[in-house]
Structure 1
Amino acid sequence: MFQFITKRSFFVNLLIALLLGLAIVFIFFQLLDSITQHGKYAKVPSVKGKTVEDATKVLEAQGFRVEVQDSVYYDSLPKLSIVKQSPQPEELVKVNRTIYLTINRAEAPLVTLPNFVGQTYRSVQLQLNTLGLKLGDTTTRPDFAVGSVLEQLYKGVSVKPGAKIPMGSSISLVIGGGIKQTEVSVPLLLGLTFAEAKVLLESNDLLLGAVVVDGAIADSASAFVIKQNPPVRDDEGRPIRIRGGQLIDVWISTDRSKIDSIPKPKAVMEKKPETVNEY
């Protein structure tokens, strides 16, 4: 079978092999341009905003390959739509080039909420932007810590650090507004329910301080204020006045005997005019 090779000299066979090799290389390079479509370029069409399926059809029709490279999240854009493409639209690139796509996620990723309490408003605003969260309503409350965050709220409810919330959510802040210069009379909280006392304090720009629980209380809504500090009047019966933003401590209880025995504040005794005896 191999006699036609073995009958020839080694040098003849080597020459034939070299000629065959050169022929194969020549044919390869002749076909290379056709295989790689060398010299064929096309503009990259814009597929931003389209679905992955529609974008793939548009790009493949132009002779490009498609690969989803990454995903991000924007709550303002349609879910699973194209957010970014590389190369950019209108760039002139070779046909068969792979176009890498970035899509908008279908669900918002969860973000771990840090502790904003005690930080400045500006610092919290920068952190929210970095985390992909929005700044919600900002309200002020009288407090010594002027300009500092006193409370962080999510959907109107106070939320603790470490909570997981969806990216794009709004976080509302309560900011310290300082102590007001105007004075108000200490309101009478004795005999009110705990909820009523908190509303009355808020309406007077006063803050709830320490809450001392007297006895076992399953539900604070059923508890009543049996003591407060500062009281409404001093030992001489004169009204006590404090500045807005100051604290009032309360004692609460559900013991009916203690509620019924709440002492009434002393009133200032009016002096009777002295009578002058005329002779």
Structure 2
Amino acid sequence: MKLFDNITKRSFGYNILVILGLMVVLGFIFFFSLSFLTRHGEVVTVPDIRGKSIEQATAALEKLGFEVEVRDSVYIDTLQALLVYEQTPERGDVVKVNRTIYLTVNKVIPPMVPMPDLEGLTFRSAEMTLKARRLNVGDTIYKPDFATNTVLQQLLNGKPIKPGKEIPEGSNITLVLSSGTGSMENPVPEIVGLTYMEAREVLAASNLNVGIVLFDGGVTDTLGAFVFKQLPARRNELGELNLIRAGESVDLWLSSNRPVRDSLLPPQQIPAPQE
């Protein structure tokens, strides 16, 4: 009460001066202590903690006075799970102490992504498409075909993989690429009389492709159907061997009945089997 009485007995101007003096004193105390509280002028070089576990990275950063926060996660197939992949600020940056270092760590379980359709794309386009889905180009296998350096087939673990199928991010995709047609010509193989499955094996062994496949009305089992005509044929009308380059195609006509071979007729004149 005495303090209140003393204040009220002073003039208004005197009280204002006292209040202003107190504000100035408090201001000086605040600004002089600010550098101490914020450790102004103290800087530290950010260490490289990539590839370390979260525990190791946190201990190393906190020892230097940093705060640590896991901000994001990614999946990198070449990096062990729960190791630091990226850091912000980056290694070598000079920053104030007490700065928060944000970490990006590697996921434990890879996310699933849909397999893109690569067939018909150039190798470069296929590679870019895979990278956009966080998939990798595995082995490349070359096979003779017309469209040089285009994707003929896409494989995962040695088996064809259909577009749209969900696969783990980081998977290695094997690409079967076209090497173009060969420069040398070889005789057309004889496949009339073989089943469709046998014909495909013979053509593949000769680096040839199956072209157009036509059926007669009685075919119910495609693989077991018989080839009764091929184009190009083994021989021409003069009995000379037709030649073909690796990577070219042979068209097939299939029937449910094995064709009757006539040694007097060239293959292209063998009549179609009768029902």
2:126 pairs, out of 124, 127, 151, with: 124
| Residue in structure 2 matched with residue 229 of structure 1 by the alignment | 230
1:174 pairs, out of 170, 173, 176, with: 176
| Residue in structure 1 matched with residue 273 of structure 2 by the alignment | none
CA contact (8 A) 1:73 1:108 kept: yes
For residue 69 of structure 2, give the secondary structure of its aligned residue in structure 1.
strand
RMSD of aligned residue pairs (Cα, Å): 3.1
| Residue in structure 2 matched with residue 165 of structure 1 by the alignment | 167
For residue 137 of structure 1, give the secondary structure of its aligned residue in structure 2.
strand
Find out whether 1:38 has 2:35 as its counterpart.
no
Quick one: percent identity of the two aligned structures?
39
CA contact (8 A) 2:39 2:97 kept: yes
| Residue in structure 2 matched with residue 24 of structure 1 by the alignment | 26
In structure 1, runs of 5+ residues without a counterpart are 270-279
Matches of 1:216 and 1:18 in 2, distance apart? Answer: 106
Return the offset for 1:64: 0.9
1:182 alignment partner AA: E
Matches of 2:254 and 2:92 in 1, distance apart? Answer: 72
1:101-155: CA deviation from partner (whole Å, max 9, x where unpaired) = 2222223344444443333334434444454433222223232223332223233
Find out whether 1:243 has 2:245 as its counterpart.
yes
| Residue in structure 2 matched with residue 156 of structure 1 by the alignment | 158
1:25-51: CA deviation from partner (whole Å, max 9, x where unpaired) = 222223222211223333433322111
Matches of 2:222 and 2:59 in 1, distance apart? Answer: 63
For residue 84 of structure 1, give the secondary structure of its aligned residue in structure 2.
strand
Matches of 2:113 and 2:259 in 1, distance apart? Answer: 49
Structure 1 residues 66 and 265: CA distance shift in structure 2, 3 A: farther
Moved more, 236-245 or 23-32: 236-245
Return the offset for 1:93: 3.0
1:60 pairs, out of 62, 65, 69, with: 62
Matches of 1:57 and 1:117 in 2, distance apart? Answer: 49
Moved more, 201-210 or 126-135: 126-135
CA contact (8 A) 2:191 2:227 kept: no
1:202-223: CA deviation from partner (whole Å, max 9, x where unpaired) = 0122211233455574x655x2
For residue 153 of structure 1, give the secondary structure of its aligned residue in structure 2.
strand
| Residue in structure 2 matched with residue 266 of structure 1 by the alignment | 263
Structure 1 residues 187 and 33: CA distance shift in structure 2, 3 A: same
Structure 1 residues 176 and 233: CA distance shift in structure 2, 3 A: same
Matches of 2:93 and 2:153 in 1, distance apart? Answer: 50
1:61 alignment partner AA: K
- Normalising to structure 1: TM-score of the pair? 0.77
| Residue in structure 2 matched with residue 74 of structure 1 by the alignment | 76
CA contact (8 A) 2:123 2:151 kept: yes
In structure 2, runs of 5+ residues without a counterpart are 267-275
| Residue in structure 1 matched with residue 269 of structure 2 by the alignment | none
Structure 1 residues 46 and 147: CA distance shift in structure 2, 3 A: closer
Matches of 1:114 and 1:65 in 2, distance apart? Answer: 41
Return the offset for 1:96: 0.9
